[in-house]
C-alpha cells in the first residue's frame, strides 16, 4: 500500500510548465492567411490522429495553420509500451519507470507525427495523465486535484483570443470514451462559449468509422454537459456530417491515399500498442457541428470541407525513362 501511495502521489505531482513546440513544416505549402486556421484540442499525445485527414489536407496541402493542444503528458500509457521497451532499453511497462520516462518519449513521437502532417505548432499543457477512467469528473471536479483546471482554461482562453482560429476540433465526448477525452472536449467547448459570439471559432467533434459501419452518418450520442444553462454538447441540426474520405486516391496513378498517410503518422507512436493497432483502419472521418458555434457556421464549415476534396498534387509528365507505368 505504501508503494501504491507513492506512485499515485508521483502521478499527481505538479505538472511542468506549458510548452510550445514550433514544428518543422518547411517542405509543405507555405502558410497563407487564406487557408483555414485550425486548433485541435485533445487529452493525450496521439488523440489528434482521429483528424489526420483534415490536418494533413489543411496543413500540408492548403497551407493552413494547424495547431494541436494536448492537455496531458501521456504518462498513463505505460501499460501499452511493451514493444517500445526494447527500443528504449528500459522496462516502460513498469508503472514507476513508465510514468517517469513516457512524457519525454511521447513528446517526440507526437512531434514527429505532426511534422509529417504539416502541422504548425504543438502545445503541451503537461497535466497528469493519471489513469484510465470513463468518469470525466475525476479530472473535471473542482476539488479533483489532478489537472490544474485554472491553468488549462487560461491557456485555452488566451490561444483562442490571440490566434483567432476558424475551427476548433475535439474528439466526440461520448459516455463510453476515456474520461480525459470527454474532459478535454468539454474544456474546449467552455472556452469557445466564453468568447463573444461574433468572434467564436466554429466547434466540431470528430469520429473515425469504417465505411461499412452500421452507424455511418449517425450523430454521436454525447454526454450531457452545460455551463450557465447552456448545453455545451448540443449538436446543430445538419442533414449529414462533414466528412473526409481516407480512401480518397491521389498522386501518380492514384497509388496514394489518406489512409496510408494516417498509418504513417500513427506508426510514429511506437510506445503505444493501442495506437499501432489502428494502422490501416478507419475509412471516414465524420465531423459534427456543435451548436455553440457562431451563426453561419454550417456554411463556413461546408466551404472548408469542399477545399479538402482535392489534395492538389501537381500532375507530372514522365518519359519512357520512368518505366512502363509512367503514363497516368
pLDDT number for residue 4: 38
Across the range 48-57, mean pLDDT stands at 98
Across the range 94-110, mean pLDDT stands at 98
Find the angle CA(201)-CA(202)-CA(208) to the nearest 5 degrees: 130
Residue 126 clears pLDDT 60, i.e. is over it: yes
* Partners of 207 in beta bridges: 286
Distance, in Å, from the CA atom of 218 to the CA atom of 215, rounded to the nearest integer, reads 5
Residue 235 clears pLDDT 90, i.e. is over it: yes
Residue 3 clears pLDDT 50, i.e. is over it: no
Q: What is the mean pLDDT of the chain?
A: 92
Residue 132 clears pLDDT 70, i.e. is over it: yes
Percent of the chain with pLDDT over 90: 82
Distance, in Å, from the CA atom of 73 to the CA atom of 126, rounded to the nearest integer, reads 4
Q: Domains, the chain, ranges and CATH? A: 10-312 (3.40.50.10320)
pLDDT number for residue 5: 41
DSSP states of 121-177 as a string?
A: EEEEEEE------S-THHHHSTT--SS-HHHHHHHHHHHHHHH--SEEEEE--BTTS
Q: How confident is the model at residue 327 (pLDDT cuts 50, 70, 90)?
A: low
Strands (E) in the chain, as ranges, are 19-22, 38-42, 66-72, 121-127, 167-171, 202-209, 226-227, 230-231, 242-245, 249-250, 256-257, 284-289
pTM: predicted TM-score of the whole model, two decimal places: 0.93
Q: How confident is the model at residue 2 (pLDDT cuts 50, 70, 90)?
A: very low
Distance, in Å, from the CA atom of 34 to the CA atom of 39, rounded to the nearest integer, reads 16
Residue 7 clears pLDDT 60, i.e. is over it: no
Distance, in Å, from the CA atom of 139 to the CA atom of 223, rounded to the nearest integer, reads 15
| C-alpha of 130 from chain center | 19
pLDDT number for residue 239: 81
Percent of the chain with pLDDT over 70: 92
Residue 109: how many CA atoms within 13 Å on its side-chain side?
29
pLDDT number for residue 162: 98
Q: How confident is the model at residue 107 (pLDDT cuts 50, 70, 90)?
A: very high
Residue 257 clears pLDDT 50, i.e. is over it: yes
Distance, in Å, from the CA atom of 16 to the CA atom of 1, rounded to the nearest integer, reads 27
Distance, in Å, from the CA atom of 328 to the CA atom of 316, rounded to the nearest integer, reads 9
* Contact residues for 180 (Cβ-Cβ < 8 A; gap 6+): 43, 44, 71, 72, 129, 133, 136, 139
Cell of 271: 510506445
Across the range 224-247, mean pLDDT stands at 85
- Burial grade of 138 (CB within 10 A; 0-12, 13-18, 19 or more): middle
Cell of 18: 506549458
Q: What is the pLDDT of residues 168-198, one digit of tens each?
A: 999 999 999 999 999 999 999 999 999 999 9
Cell 501518380 appears where? Answer: 252
Range with the poorest average pLDDT among 5-9, 32-36, 73-77, 315-319: 5-9
Q: Could you tell me if 204 and 287 are in contact, meaning their C-beta atoms sit under 8 angstroms apart?
A: yes
Residue 19 clears pLDDT 70, i.e. is over it: yes
Cell of 154: 487560461
Distance, in Å, from the CA atom of 290 to the CA atom of 288, rounded to the nearest integer, reads 7
Q: Could you tell me if 35 and 58 are in contact, meaning their C-beta atoms sit under 8 angstroms apart?
A: yes
Q: Could you tell me if 72 and 148 are in contact, meaning their C-beta atoms sit under 8 angstroms apart?
A: no
Amino acid at each position: 500500500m505504501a508503494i501504491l501511495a507513492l506512485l499515485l502521489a508521483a502521478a499527481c505531482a505538479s505538472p511542468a510548465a506549458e510548452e510550445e513546440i514550433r514544428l518543422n513544416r518547411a517542405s509543405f505549402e507555405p502558410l497563407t492567411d487564406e487557408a483555414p486556421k485550425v486548433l485541435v484540442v485533445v487529452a493525450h499525445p496521439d488523440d489528434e490522429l482521429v483528424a489526420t485527414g483534415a490536418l494533413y489536407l489543411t496543413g500540408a496541402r492548403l497551407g493552413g495553420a494547424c495547431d494541436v493542444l494536448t492537455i496531458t503528458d501521456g504518462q498513463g500509457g505505460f501499460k501499452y509500451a511493451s514493444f517500445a521497451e526494447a527500443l528504449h532499453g528500459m522496462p516502460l511497462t513498469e508503472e514507476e519507470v513508465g510514468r517517469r520516462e513516457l512524457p519525454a518519449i511521447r513528446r517526440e513521437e507526437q512531434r514527429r507525427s505532426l511534422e509529417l502532417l504539416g502541422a504548425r505548432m504543438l502545445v503541451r499543457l503537461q497535466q497528469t495523465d493519471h489513469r484510465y477512467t470513463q468518469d470525466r469528473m475525476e479530472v473535471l471536479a473542482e476539488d479533483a486535484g489532478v489537472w490544474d483546471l485554472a491553468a488549462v482554461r487560461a491557456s485555452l482562453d488566451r490561444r483562442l483570443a490571440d490566434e483567432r482560429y476558424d475551427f476548433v476540433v475535439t474528439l466526440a465526448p461520448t459516455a463510453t470514451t476515456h474520461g480525459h477525452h470527454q474532459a478535454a472536449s468539454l474544456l474546449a467547448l467552455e472556452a469557445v462559449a466564453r468568447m463573444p459570439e461574433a468572434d467564436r471559432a466554429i466547434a466540431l467533434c470528430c469520429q473515425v468509422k469504417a465505411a461499412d459501419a452500421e452507424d455511418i452518418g449517425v450523430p454521436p450520442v454525447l454526454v450531457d454537459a452545460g455551463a450557465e444553462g447552456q448545453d455545451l454538447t448540443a449538436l446543430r441540426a445538419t442533414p449529414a456530417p462533414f466528412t473526409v474520405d481516407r480512401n480518397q486516391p491521389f498522386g501518380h496513378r492514384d497509388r496514394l491515399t489518406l489512409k496510408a498517410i494516417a498509418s504513417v503518422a500513427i506508426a510514429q507512436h511506437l510506445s503505444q500498442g493501442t495506437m499501432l493497432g489502428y494502422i490501416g483502419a478507419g475509412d471516414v472521418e465524420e465531423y459534427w457541428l456543435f451548436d455553440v458555434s457562431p451563426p453561419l457556421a454550417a456554411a463556413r464549415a461546408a466551404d472548408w470541407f469542399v477545399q479538402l476534396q482535392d489534395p492538389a498534387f501537381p500532375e507530372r509528365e514522365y518519359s519512357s525513362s520512368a518505366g512502363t507505368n509512367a503514363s497516368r
